A and B are shown apart, each in its own frame.
Chain A
Amino acid sequence: MAEDAILSAKGITKEFKGFVAVDNVDLTVRRGTIHALIGPNGAGKTTCFNLLTKFLQPTRGEITYKGQDITRMAPADIARLGLVRSFQISAVFPNLTALENIRVALQRERGDSFDFWRSQTVLNSLNERAEELLGQVGLSGFADVHAAELPYGRKRALEIATTLALDPEMLLLDEPMAGMGQEDVERTSALIKGVSANRTILMVEHNLSVVSSLSDTITVLARGRVLAEGDYQAVSKDPRVIEAYIGAAHG
């Protein structure tokens, strides 16, 4: 089991001035799977997510990615290792066109872009790939539209295409369905399923039908701790999980 773990966290803890948001969490994501992180509001899902992507520094604990200790690394460097995250609020560059959004990601393969003396026409060689990626998420024909003018579902699609432009080995999706209508949820579900080939995905998600249909493994968090772990069948029957969800609904 241990050898096919791509990302693992041991005993990660995050304290905010006396309040423990994430308490001694162990998490192992196996290579090639879709792993979901669920839990009632305030369970520490987003904090946990931010710890794994290094947008927050854990108070204690250790995180390894492909056998490498990444506990003290900067978030930009994590991305360079092929571990790329998305955001809860659709993270596009609003005043850039859809094509330019994707090109910013494709530009990464040039290394650092400190060449301020060169014309941006050198980036035109990336246009073809960018168009291709737009096509993959159903955004052909929107290349010259500013991201700000795209409807919500399409913004999320653009965000996924931008992430895919980096060809990451592992994706971390923070509530990919947040704020979506049913139609968009289905389209995005299919999209995530599609991109999961040859990749590992860890996602935080509220929509349980999405979680049940997509994920191989589910980890349930409650009050900053791991409550249960397993496939949907096992987890949904666990009395502690039922109690945490119903208890939270009443509380």
Chain B
Amino acid sequence: MASETTTAGLAYGKRSLVRGMPGHHIAIFIGFLVVAAVAPFLLYPVFVMKVLCFALFACALNLLLGFGGLLSFGHAAYFGSASYITAHAAKVWGLTPELAILSGTAVAAFLGVVFGSLAIRRQGIYFAMVTLAFGQMIYFFALQAEFTGGEDGIQAVPRGHLLGLLDLRADFTLYWVVLAIVFFGLLIIYRVIHSPFGQVLKAIRENEPRAVSLGYRTSQYKLAVFVLSATMAGLAGSTKALVFQLASLTDVHWTMSGEVVLMTLLGGMGTIFGPIVGATVIVAMQNYLASFGAWVTIIQGVIFVIAVLLFREGIIGVLARRLRKPL
């Protein structure tokens, strides 16, 4: 394992993002890019972009849940706030898309600092409840505030020109930009998991008192991962606002927080690629089963029950155990 890691790293140069990445992970990332490059020609590009945004959102939650051991039940707060800010920045302030996305992401990061520093004082179910409460506060704010447009949301958000040059109105042009953003986000999350910081994080997840006794101030690490996760969730929300040209109450609703937990669990919590698979399955179901109306929720529920009963480690979790390789 160790030798495989070093050779893969050396082949790509010392400072590269893939340094230390095992061969099969590089292969999966390349496979992901290939599939993502072909997908918009076979499927509706906006649908694929939706999958990509939710994949990033689920991976962001998984960073906190699967590697930090912290279940946030209010991640819609960061996804949705970023979505609103990006929509407002692009539509009202007339910012270019990259600046609009950065503003949304920055606000999500800021909220992550504020809410995270309060939430990490509690553990387990209480932590989940505190995050849910903050999520509800953001929902209420979005419902009441002037700029969010209440029930209507912010509609007809202009996609604008990237860096003032590239016209993003065409779905296909936007697609490559979204793919680049999401892929970059996924690589960042991958690196966080496989960094010295990630190593301490896993230790805290496994046995917090022991990590404390080794001299780690664990609450600082928990806050750091909370903020990183909120920031990445924000990046996903901001990007989504440009894709759909819409920010709405759905983005900040607690069901959104629940859905992303579902995606993570279905794909495999604590795996690297599981949330991508989970997000794909859930978004595809919502899309292709839409004709069943309210039955979608029931079908989703049944699938979730089956998943929890038969493969608790999630789709990729089971696969990783079979292959005896971290996926």
Contacts and interface: CB of A to CB of B under 8 A. Distances in A.
Given A77-B217, A85-B213, 7 more contacts: A55-B209, A76-B217, A95-B206, A107-B199, A112-B216, A114-B220, A122-B196
Interface stretch (B78-86, B103-111, B187-195, B273-281): B187-195
Interface stretch (A26-34, A98-106, A224-232): A98-106
Contact of B224 (A96, A104, A114): A114
Contact of A105 (B1, B19, B207, B214): B214
A54 to B, nearest CB: 9
Contacts of A55: 209, 212
Contact of A84 (B1, B213, B216): B213
B218 interface: yes
A93 interface: yes
B296 interface: no
Interface in A95-143: 95-96, 100, 103-105, 107-108, 110, 112-124, 127
Contacts of B191: 116-117, 119
A37 B14 CA distance: 52
B195 A120 contact: yes
B195 A115 contact: yes
A46 interface: no
A105 B221 CA distance: 15
Nearest to B63: A116
A80 interface: yes
A94 B206 contact: yes
Contacts of A91: 207, 209-210, 213
Contact of B203 (A96, A112, A120): A96
A123 B199 contact: yes
Q: Is the interface of B mostly helix, strand, loop or mixed?
A: helix
22 contacts: A76-B217, A76-B218, A79-B213, A79-B214, A84-B213, A87-B213, A92-B207, A107-B199, A108-B214, A112-B216, A112-B217, A113-B197, A114-B197, A114-B221, A115-B195, A116-B197, A116-B224, A117-B195, A119-B9, A120-B195, A120-B198, A121-B9
Contacts of B207: 91-94
A87 B210 contact: yes
Interface in A118-174: 118-124, 127, 144, 162, 166
Given A113-B197, A122-B196, A93 B214 contact: no
A96 B202 contact: yes
B199 A103 contact: yes
Interface in B218-236: 218, 220-221, 224, 228
B211 interface: yes
**Central interface residue in B211, B215, B218, by most chain A CB within 10 Å:** B215
B200 interface: yes
B36 to A, nearest CB: 24
Which interface residue of B194, B200, B214 has the most chain A CB atoms within 10 A? B214
Looking at A53, A79, A116, A120, which has the most chain B CB atoms within 10 Å of its CB?
Answer: A116
Given A76-B212, A79-B213, A113-B197, A120 B20 contact: yes
A93 B202 contact: yes
B27 to A, nearest CB: 18
A39 interface: no
Contacts of B309: none
B43 interface: no
Given A75-B212, A93-B210, A166-B214, A113 B202 contact: no
Interface string B1-44: 11001100100000000011000000000000000000000000
B209 A100 contact: no
A144 B195 CA distance: 19
A119 B9 CA distance: 10
Contacts of B192: 116-117
A34 to B, nearest CB: 20
Contacts of A114: 197, 220-221, 224
A242 interface: no
A74 interface: yes
